[in-house]
Amino acid sequence: MLRVTENMNYDLLRDNISKSRERLGNLQRQESTMKKLKQPSDNPTAAIEILELRNEKKRNEQYDLNNYLVEMSLQNLDFLLEDLSSTVMRLKEISLNQSNSMNFSSDLRANMADEVDQLFGSAVAIVNRRFGNRYLMSGYKVETPCVNSNGDYQGDSGQVMIEVSKDVFIPINIPGSSVFNLQSMDQNDLKTVNLFEEIKKLKQALLDGDCDKVRGQLVKFDQLYSKIISVRAQVGSRVQVLHQISQSMDRQRISNAELNSQLEDVDLAQVLSDLNREEVIFKNALASSNKLVQPTLLDFLK
Amino acid sequence: MTLQGIFETARSGLNSTKAGIAVAGNNISNANTENYSRQRVILETKDPQLNRSGGGFIGAGNQISGIKRLNNNYIEKQINESYKKFSNHEEKSVFLKQIEDVFNEMEDGDGLSDLMSRFFNEFRKLSLEPNNLALRQSLQEAGQSVIDYFFRTNQILTQIVQNLDKKIEGYVQNINELVSNIINLNKEIFRLEQSGNGDPNDLIDKRDLAIKKLGSFFDISLHPDKSGMVEVDLNGAGLLLSSSSKNEELKFSRGAGDLYLNGHNESVSSLIQGGKLGAIFEFRNKILPEIFEKLDNLAFNLSHYVNEIHQKGVALNGQRGICFFEPLLKKDKASQNINLSHMVLSDLQFISAALDENSPGDNRVALALSNLQNKKLMGDERFTLDEWYHSILSDIATMVSKNESALHQENDMMIQFEKIRNQISGVSIDEETAYLMQLQHSFDASAKVMQFADEVLGTVLQIKR
């Protein structure tokens, strides 16, 4: 025969009520915070995953900022190159026109030489453009203008890389030397062609009225023009890469948010129904305690 | 059989019933006494007497052969074991939760994980504009807050160790009190048992309770001896108390965190296992030092690798080889000693973001530094700094959750054993009441026998008249 003593009943009652209270409290907290986890020990693996996602989010916020900055900078660079290319285009036109001595007078050539001089000034102004307070074409020497008034390059060959996504770096500048300097084969000799030098030579040729030399300059400007165009294409492809990256980051952001929500957020319907059920259980536990503490034999001994 | 003999028989009935009522009364009044085992009067018949008028032996009533404690040794042992484990997990739970709170980053805030992220992000920002002083300022601040976090965490953990030591001292006092209590009970039980009147049940219950409480502090082994005394052995370290009643006091020395038995020079801390004290010692001497070590490693490697790259860079004023953090000489206490270098603290120009001189736009060093966040710098190049820190959190969280489930399980076990104990030893008021009623009837009946004998004797006396 199983002996049942009063203390057993009371112990059971105490245990049931306190367990039910604990569950109720936990559900209530979930409902009010809308979070499944209060402390990491509620689910250690999920907790660490949440922290890692959070770190990634922080990092991505910075990458977004970088992305924006890189895009702005590349856009500016593109405008700069566009303007530079039309300047060179105009120089090409002038050299083409003036390569035939039959058509023009020396007055006109002097005018043209004047225009070339102007173009020299504007080319200097174009390559010395800034984005914010940084010179775009000076390499790492962002505080120094790209060329001086004489057209001498003052920057270095540094490419400023910016991280736009984890371990993906995009250069935001192009050192001027790689835009307006190019190596060219001239009678089996490797010679450096420099935009500003060539402009100066064209001006001199015009002033001298040396048609052959002017014609010779046309070839140089042609080469320089295609160089600038190819650099522009390079900038364009950087922008494209940037767009692809920011798209993939957008996708990642969404999937991370989903994962995070799955790990961290409560299913409200589930919690509410659990809460109701637990409340019923708790009330029943209290109500049944009345039955558990039954009258004893003593009540009948009168 | 004489008439007086009948009186005697009736009296024995009255006596034993009275004893029964007293025992039942004692049971009822102790219904809620901790660790009380219900008692029963064991009756036996008295030796019969030869009937002189012939015809054989007539019984001579009853006598009390003893008062027995209804109790099962096996269950008691189980309860003690279970209580010890429960106390161990319960004690651990308190500290582990405290530690978990220290490292809790679930609510968005300023945990180390966030701060380190910010620190490396500041390098990323600096890479956009390496010569911007405002960005340098905010990088310096981000570095300072990482250091502050290390310092604060260190302080809190040290504070916890100090609190633990106070707690240990309190427990040692409790233990010493319990030991002297058991010694006194031992003596008293020995004395009463020597008198040959059976077991002093209530004192044995009391001693059982004291032993159970003592066992909740650490693993002990019991050696009952023939004289009814119990020797208590501290896990092979020596007798806490022996039947020769020599009292061994425990002494705790702070700082080193060592525990000594009085009169011995060797520390017994390593022998303390299980129970509340075992939990504290495990926490104090194993779990916490591991956390400290991991934090120290983190702080050391962070400063080491940042410095390594930073030193290759060149400052705004052209100087090379500048440390970002004050160089640490050893890993030990790195999390306490980590600090920004005085140069970086004194002048933002000393933050080196560039690789080439006179290149204000050169961000290569800043990039390399920000990239440290993704490098596996910790634990034989298996973890990034973040992952390492997260592994500390994960270790703690796992310990807490394991401990909590063990605590719940042990609690359920204990309740189960207590239930079984109650089945055997617990007092049921109804049962005792029914027993009392039964005794009341027997008392009435025995009294009736006496009255009857009295009347018979009266009749005999009247013959003379």
DSSP sequence for B236-273: TS-EEE-TT-PBPPEEEETTTTEEEETT--SB-GGG--
A140 touches chain B (CB under 8 A): yes
> Given a cut of 80, is residue B108 above it in pLDDT?
no
> Given a cut of 90, is residue B48 above it in pLDDT?
no
Q: What is the pLDDT of residue B408?
A: 92
Provide CB contacts within 8 A for B379, sequence distance 6+: B297, B388
Interface test with A, best of B116, B359, B372 (most A CBs within 10 A): B359
- Judging by beta carbons within 10 Å of its beta carbon (0-12, 13-18, 19+), is residue B425 exposed, middle or buried? buried
Q: What is the pLDDT of residue B232?
A: 79
Query: Which residue in A7, A48, A156 is closest to B359 by CB distance?
Result: A156
- Are B423 and A62 within 8 A, CB to CB? no
* Cβ atoms B179, B240 nearer than 8 A: yes
**A-chain residues within 8 Å CB-CB of B397?**
39-41, 44, 47-48
Q: What is the pLDDT of residue A184?
A: 76
Q: What does the mean pLDDT of chain B come to?
A: 88
Provide CB contacts within 8 A for A51, sequence distance 6+: B105, B113, B390, B393
- Rounded to an integer, what distance in angstroms lies between the CA atom of residue B171 and that of residue B177? 10
Q: What is the pLDDT of residue A280?
A: 92
More confident residue, B157 or B199: B157
**A-chain residues within 8 Å CB-CB of B32?**
7
Query: Which residue in B121, B359, B393 is closest to A59 by CB distance?
Result: B121
Query: Which residue in A44, A166, A297 is closest to B394 by CB distance?
Result: A44
Q: Pairing relation of β-strands B57-58 and B376-378?
A: unpaired
**B-chain residues within 8 Å CB-CB of A158?**
356, 359, 361-362
* Cβ atoms B246, B262 nearer than 8 A: no
Interface test with A, best of B72, B131, B428, B441 (most A CBs within 10 A): B428
**B-chain residues within 8 Å CB-CB of A54?**
108, 113-114
Interface test with B, best of A1, A14, A60, A62 (most B CBs within 10 A): A62
Q: Mean pLDDT, to the nearest integer, of A94-108?
A: 77
B255-269, B323-337, B388-402: least confident range: B255-269
- Are A54 and B401 within 8 A, CB to CB? no
Provide CB contacts within 8 A for B191, sequence distance 6+: none
> Given a cut of 60, is residue B245 above it in pLDDT?
no
B413 touches chain A (CB under 8 A): no
* Cβ atoms A69, A234 nearer than 8 A: no
- Rounded to an integer, what distance in angstroms lies between the CA atom of residue B236 and that of residue A174? 78
A215-219, B206-210, B231-235: least confident range: B231-235
Query: Which residue in B31, B359, B401 is closest to A41 by CB distance?
Result: B401
Q: What is the pLDDT of residue B91?
A: 93
Provide CB contacts within 8 A for B26, sequence distance 6+: B39
Q: Mean pLDDT, to the nearest integer, of B385-395?
A: 92
Q: Give me the phi and psi of B315, to 5 degrees please.
A: -75, 170
B28 touches chain A (CB under 8 A): no
Which residues 110-139 of A are in CB contact (within 8 Å) with B? 132, 134, 138-139
Which residues 197-236 of A are in CB contact (within 8 Å) with B? none
More confident residue, B12 or A300: B12
Query: Which residue in A39, A134, A173 is closest to B100 by CB distance?
Result: A39
Helix (H) or strand (E) run with residue B58 in it: strand B57-58
Indicate the pLDDT class of residue B226, thresholds 50, 70 and 90. confident
pTM of the model as a whole: 0.83
Please report where in the chains the tokens 């239930």 appear, as a residue: B419
Q: What is the pLDDT of residue A102?
A: 63
- Are A7 and B367 within 8 A, CB to CB? no
Nearest residue in A to B126, CA atom: A162
Ranges of H-type helices in B132-271: 133-194, 201-215
Vertex A168 angle, CA A166 and A171, to 5°: 135
Tokens linked to B300: 């050391």
Q: Mean pLDDT, to the nearest integer, of A271-288?
A: 90
Provide CB contacts within 8 A for B130, sequence distance 6+: B353, B354, B360, B361, B362, B363, B366
pLDDT digits (tens, 9 = 90+) for A228-271: 999 999 999 999 999 999 999 999 999 999 999 999 898 889 99
Q: What is the pLDDT of residue B39?
A: 94
Instruction: Annotate chain B with three-state secondary structure.
Output: CCHHHHHHHHHHHHHHHHHHHHHHHHHHHCCCCCCCCCEEEEEEECCCEECCCCCCEECCCEEEEEEEECCCHHHHHHHHHHHHHHHHHHHHHHHHHHHHHHCCCCCCCCCHHHHHHHHHHHHHHHHHCCCCHHHHHHHHHHHHHHHHHHHHHHHHHHHHHHHHHHHHHHHHHHHHHHHHHHHHHHHHHHHHHHCCCCCCHHHHHHHHHHHHHHHCCCCCEEEECCCCCEEEECCCCCEEECCCCCECCEEEECCCCEEEECCCCCECHHHCCCHHHHHHHHHHHHHHHHHHHHHHHHHHHHHHHHHHHHHHCECCCCCECCCCECCCCCCCCHHHHCCECHHHHHCHHHCCCECCCCCCCCCHHHHHHHHHHHCEEECCCCEEHHHHHHHHHHHHHHHHHHHHHHHHHHHHHHHHHHHHHHHHHCCCHHHHHHHHHHHHHHHHHHHHHHHHHHHHHHHHHHCCC
- Rounded to an integer, what distance in angstroms lies between the CA atom of residue A286 and that of residue B190? 48
Residues in chain A: 302
Closest CA to A95 of A259, A200, A3, A221: A221
- Are A158 and B386 within 8 A, CB to CB? no
B357 touches chain A (CB under 8 A): no
Tokens linked to A226: 């295609």
Query: Which residue in A11, A43, A51 is closest to B390 by CB distance?
Result: A51
Interface test with B, best of A1, A2, A4, A5 (most B CBs within 10 A): A5
**A-chain residues within 8 Å CB-CB of B356?**
140, 156, 158
Provide the percentage of residues in chain A whose pLDDT is more than 90.
Answer: 43
> Given a cut of 60, is residue B243 above it in pLDDT?
no
A301 touches chain B (CB under 8 A): yes
CB atoms within 10 A of CB B239: 15
3-class state of residue A8 by DSSP: helix
Closest CA to A139 of A165, A111, A158, A118: A158
A162 touches chain B (CB under 8 A): yes
Please report where in the chains the tokens 């079984």 appear, as a residue: B420
**A-chain residues within 8 Å CB-CB of B113?**
51, 54-55
Indicate the pLDDT class of residue A298, thresholds 50, 70 and 90. confident
More confident residue, B223 or A93: A93
- Rounded to an integer, what distance in angstroms lies between the CA atom of residue A165 and that of residue B371? 11
Q: Mean pLDDT, to the nearest integer, of A21-31?
A: 90
* Cβ atoms B403, B93 nearer than 8 A: yes
Interface test with A, best of B114, B115, B128, B384 (most A CBs within 10 A): B128
> Given a cut of 90, is residue A4 above it in pLDDT?
no
> Given a cut of 90, is residue A105 above it in pLDDT?
no
Indicate the pLDDT class of residue B228, thresholds 50, 70 and 90. confident
Q: What is the pLDDT of residue B263?
A: 62
Nearest residue in B to A47, CA atom: B106
- Rounded to an integer, what distance in angstroms lies between the CA atom of residue A194 and that of residue A210? 20
* Cβ atoms B232, B241 nearer than 8 A: yes
* Cβ atoms A146, A158 nearer than 8 A: no
DSSP B283: I
* Interface contacts A/B by beta carbons within 8 Å: 164
CB atoms within 10 A of CB B147: 22
3-class state of residue B360 by DSSP: coil
Interface test with B, best of A172, A297, A299, A301 (most B CBs within 10 A): A297
Please report where in the chains the tokens 């059982």 appear, as a residue: B208
> Given a cut of 80, is residue B54 above it in pLDDT?
no
> Given a cut of 80, is residue A179 above it in pLDDT?
yes
**Half-sphere exposure of residue B70, counting CA atoms within 13 Å on the CB side?**
17
User: Nearest CA of chain A to the CA of B45: how many Å?
Assistant: 28
Please report where in the chains the tokens 């910790």 appear, as a residue: B378
Q: What is the pLDDT of residue B246?
A: 57
B131 touches chain A (CB under 8 A): yes
Q: What is the pLDDT of residue B88?
A: 94
B113 touches chain A (CB under 8 A): yes
Vertex B173 angle, CA B169 and B176, to 5°: 135
Provide the percentage of residues in chain B whose pLDDT is more than 90.
Answer: 50
* Cβ atoms A214, A205 nearer than 8 A: yes
- Are A162 and B128 within 8 A, CB to CB? yes
- Rounded to an integer, what distance in angstroms lies between the CA atom of residue B37 and that of residue A241? 82
CB atoms within 10 A of CB A271: 19
How far from chain centre, in Å, is Cα B355?
58
> Given a cut of 90, is residue B89 above it in pLDDT?
yes
Indicate the pLDDT class of residue A296, thresholds 50, 70 and 90. confident
> Given a cut of 70, is residue B236 above it in pLDDT?
no
